Structure 1
Amino acid sequence: MNADPSTLADIPGLMRIENTGKEELVERCTDMTQAAYPHDKVYGGYCTIHEHISCPPEQAYDYLRQGHHLEEWTYSLRGFAPTGTPGLWVGHDRLEEDTQIYVRVAASPEAMTVDYHCSWDQGEKLWMIYLMRVVPAQLVLDRPGSVITWTNCRHPYYADNPCPELAPRADRPWVGDYWDLFYAGHTVEMRNLKAILEHRHRSGLPVSVPPATATTGAAR
């Protein structure tokens, strides 16, 4: 199937082999490549991290899709319980005192994607969305295990709390205040995830564990 170039003729700014020679492309790409990048330029609008984990991808996906495991590998999410709304759970983000976090898990077994839809203080609009994907490492790195990617997009609410009246106290810091530390903080949590999955897989233990109690856990 050949694309009809006439459908692209009126779109400005396209660089395609039909209108840009290889030498010009290389020159443009070289100009766009820097020896060093400011933190904000790399992580200002989006924060993506990735890791190879020595655990079969099916087991890694199964672990992530069961949201109660957030209480194991995240730094501060604890004490999840159902809200009464199907699929919606509430817990505590102990990063800040008395702060509730609401979570819904959207998982796709075919693509092995697990998205955590979250928000502080309220469960009506889950705008903090953590996009995770498990990729078979054999496919992309020619080695056993999993490659896990994790992306956050800088939603406008990170800058402005949409519901300040729901904060447990007026001086409670807002989650967006930590955006510049997301790369480092999420890297700490990804390393937790790696340590847990690799330890259990290496030791012949079940990678996924049941919730500690009947009321503990996020959406499964």
Structure 2
Amino acid sequence: MATDIPSPDARPARSGRRSGDSTTRTDILVAARTLFGENGFTKTSMRAIAAEAGVDVALVSYHFGNKRGLFSAVMEIPGDPVLRVTTAAAGPREDLGRRLITTFITLWENDDTGVALRAMLRSAVNDEGAATAFGDFASGAMMPAIATTTGLSTETVRAIGSCIFGLAVMRYLIRAEAFTALTTDDVIEQFGPRLQAIVDADT
């Protein structure tokens, strides 16, 4: 698998590999944060992260499952974002816009997941490494997964993504009153049909 091939610029492993001491998980997160920030999500392999952390690659899988799980932990995103969006995307096409915005707004308004997602958004805006990591993740993992699940074109998925994340920026980062004044139901009722119009325009 591609994620198991070390990148050309992968750093040599540090001496003294560990088999599972108390700092292993933290070391992996630090290494992953560095490499995701430098190389993006798709070009960073699990082996490169393990080498940077000075651990066996099996420990990365043990602690985080897979690269998406590790990325979610680094960005402090609750759960697997790709699984969440593909679950929402699966189903009748004629109701796709409403399902997507309902899933989105529910996660961002939830007391547990919303705090982490807003922190992730601020980090992506203020930190170049976080922006590189999340941008590449969205382009290389999330959008292709939505396109595959729905059968929509890349251009249509891109338009949907720009609307949803534009809403996130205006509502949760800039906190523009025109967006914060909307209730959760308002967001669903106003944005659902408009996202559906983008879906329906895909031929």
Larger radius of gyration: 1
Which structure dedicates a bigger proportion of its chain to strand? 1
Give TM-score, length-normalised by structure 1: 0.27
TM-score by length of 2: 0.28
Higher-helix-fraction structure: 2
Higher relative contact order (CA 8 A, sep 6+): 1
